[in-house]
Chains A and B, each alone.
Chain A
């Protein structure tokens, strides 16, 4: 159904939109740029990998487990690290650095886990091609169909949660005005905890999805985290939908853009694949210092309409 470059691109873009959405959520609730998203994503991949290696079957059935494990990692980070620092009104930079420390500890645990898996169970966890365990669907890899659906489902669920449930609305209220929310009897602690549950889960799920299109390694998340951030920043860091969209754009741009360029300019450009999304982020930031959210969409639409009318008359 899809050419291979587009299939891979869709999987990667779905993964980035999940992770960038999580980063955005954590930033707007707790002011924390979560570096630990890197190893949380890697952990998500390894959870799916481990369960698949030991129990076999359809690998997609283990994705919810990855999500739950990511939530657990998020809860630990919130209770052990983020909450005390938020109480102390620590600066953005301090919050950011604290998650970096957490990330490095998770990374070392992942590395040790890999050693353990290969020593005790004779697995090869350091270079995993998960797509080999994927199956075909409508003449293309199942991942390229299922993972965008996963991203859309998560987005829909999140939207319903945030607009239809009392707790979801209270999350939005806390994001906008924590003091007024608290004075209304909303416990911001619960809101923050919830955002770590969702954000951590999305990170791990994103990592598991990502391993379906790239080689899974212990430093997978570490390598990709600039792109997760790029997606979040592109989305404007103001609402989750922006983050999800930004991640998708960055992911797709990397695959589709590089394919296009390789055809136009020559295959040597393939080596710079990793550089492309960063370039896109840089250009966007220079034009719109507040990301996609900073673009005045309605104004833009208005002027396009007017231009059309002008052309007609």
Chain B
């Protein structure tokens, strides 16, 4: 279980998150929603050790992550798919996948690569192209594939659905649910398409201006009379 207690964090000296308490139970999907600039990405960056943590605790199954450099966090089995700049534009797709699977051995790397390419067959055709030449959607798929390469215990997914066609978004969301159900991966999902995410999610948190304004079951937040209207843009819920 990924556990965050009384976290204050930000960038360099700038404070962005205030007193965050968050639980991400194992084998569950935890959804974080909130308006632009709320600090959702900052929260994921704090977990990865990219942002600066001023106070509080971040633990994964009891292991302290606070102030660990990102590569150590990654080695513990946390896989991060960032919102932006989530592929190496100057590297070919194959090299990208290789870097994503940096911690795997040769055998595992080959198997995993085949596995994720089967998941996104469209990428197979571009395998020797530079990632910078991909379209927005293709790039996003590559980023997700890279996230899966890392043999994750926990995945931090930041706004996956951006750039993707609605149909693909739906498939990706279903895929995420399968990751939880079939592979038992713990997932922390940050989503702008709140409705879709909350539908598959177990727990949910609402983050506004760096503070948690709501925590509870995902379906409750989806049906919350005020919050859903105020922050999620979910108008009519059937």
- Indicate whether A and B are direct neighbours in the complex (CB within 8 Å): yes
Partner of A187, one of B12, B48, B71, B99: B71
What is the total of A-B residue contacts with beta carbons within 8 Å? 68
Within 8 A of B (CB), among A168-218: 169-170, 172-173, 176-177, 179-188
Q: Max chain A CB contacts within 10 Å: which of B48, B70, B85, B98?
A: B70
**Cβ A182 vs Cβ B70 within 8 A:** yes
| Chain B positions within 8 Å of A188 at CB level | 69, 71
Do A166 and B98 touch (CB < 8 A)?
yes
Q: Which residues of A contact B176 (CB under 8 A)?
A: none
Q: List 25 A-B contacts (CB under 8 A).
A: A169-B95, A169-B98, A173-B99, A176-B90, A176-B91, A177-B85, A179-B85, A180-B82, A180-B85, A180-B88, A181-B88, A182-B50, A182-B71, A183-B48, A183-B80, A183-B82, A184-B71, A184-B100, A184-B103, A184-B150, A185-B71, A187-B69, A187-B71, A188-B69, A188-B71
Name the residue of chain B whose CB is nearest to the CB of A163. Answer: B95
B150 to chain A, nearest CB (A): 7
- Complex CA gap A188/B73 in Å reads 13
**Contact between chains at B71 and A169 (CB < 8 Å):** no
> B residues within 8 A CB of A170?
99, 102
B89 within 8 A of A: yes
Q: B99 near A186 (CB under 8 angstroms)?
A: yes
Q: Considering the chains assembled together, what is the distance between the CA atoms of A52 and B16 in angstroms?
A: 61
Question: Given the complex, which residues of B lie within 8 Å of A169, measured CB to CB?
Answer: 91, 95, 98-99
Contacts of A183 in B (CB 8 A): 48, 50, 70-71, 73-74, 80, 82
Give the Cβ gap from A241 to chain B, nearest Cβ, in Å: 13
CA A166 – CA B104 in complex, angstroms? 11
For A177, list chain B residues within 8 Å (CB).
85, 88
Bound Cα distance from A89 to B98, whole angstroms = 29
User: How many Å lie between the Cα of A187 and that of B82 in the bound state?
Assistant: 18
Which 8 A-B residue pairings sit nearest by Cβ, starting from the closest?
A182-B70, A185-B74, A185-B103, A183-B80, A173-B99, A185-B102, A182-B71, A183-B70
Task: Contact check, B12 vs A89: say whether CB atoms are below 8 A apart.
Answer: yes
Q: Which residues on the A side are within 8 Å of B75 (C-beta)?
A: 185
Known: A182-B69, A182-B70, A187-B71. A172 touches B98 (CB 8 A): no
Q: How far is the CA of A179 from the CA of B81 in the complex (A)?
A: 11
B3 sits at the interface (CB 8 A) = no
Residues of B within 8 A of A89 (CB): 12
Asked if A166 contacts B102 (CB within 8 A), the reply is yes
**Smallest distance from the beta carbon of B14 to chain A beta carbons, Å?**
13
* Number of B residues, CB within 8 Å of A: 26
B169 at the interface (CB under 8 A from A): no
Which A residues lie within 8 Å of B21 (CB)?
none
Complex: A36 Cα to B126 Cα, angstroms: 43
Instruction: Please report which residues of chain B, range 92-107, place their CB below 8 angstroms from some CB of chain A when the two chains form the complex.
Output: 95, 98-100, 102-103
Q: Quick check: is B26 within 8 A (CB to CB) of the other chain?
A: no
In addition to A173-B91, A184-B100, 10 A-B residue pairs with Cβ atoms within 8 Å of each other are: A169-B95, A172-B90, A176-B88, A176-B89, A177-B85, A180-B86, A181-B88, A183-B71, A183-B73, A185-B103
Q: How far is the CB of B58 from chain A (nearest CB, A)?
A: 15
Q: How far in angstroms is the closest Cβ of chain B from A161?
A: 14
Query: Shortest Cβ distance from B54 into chain A, in angstroms?
Result: 16
Interchain nearest-CB distance for A83 vs B (Å): 12
Please state if B91 and A172 are interface contacts (CB–CB under 8 Å).
yes
CA distance A177 to B70 in the complex (A): 13
Give the residues in chain B near A186, CB-CB below 8 Å: 71, 99, 102
Chain A residues lying within 8 Å of B74, measured Cβ to Cβ, are: 182-185
Complex contacts, A182 vs chain B, CB 8 Å: 50, 69-71, 74
Quick one: closest A residue to B96, CB to CB?
A173
Cβ contacts A229-263/B at 8 Å (1 or 0 each): 00000000000000000000000000000000000
The CB with the most chain A CB atoms within 10 A, among B75, B89, B95, is that of B95
Q: Which residues of the partner chain A approach B99 to less than 8 Å between Cβ atoms?
A: 169-170, 173, 181, 184, 186
Residues from chain A with a CB closer than 8 A to the CB of B90 are 172, 176
The A119-177 residues at the B interface (CB cut-off 8 A) are 166, 169-170, 172-173, 176-177
Name the CB-closest residue of A to B45: A179
Complex: chain A residue closest to B106, CB-CB: A166
Shortest C-beta distance, B99 to chain A (Å), equals 5
Report the separation of the CA atoms of residues A176 and B92 in the bound assembly, to the nearest whole angstrom. Answer: 13
Chain B residue contacts of A184, Cβ below 8 A: 71, 74, 99-100, 102-103, 146, 150
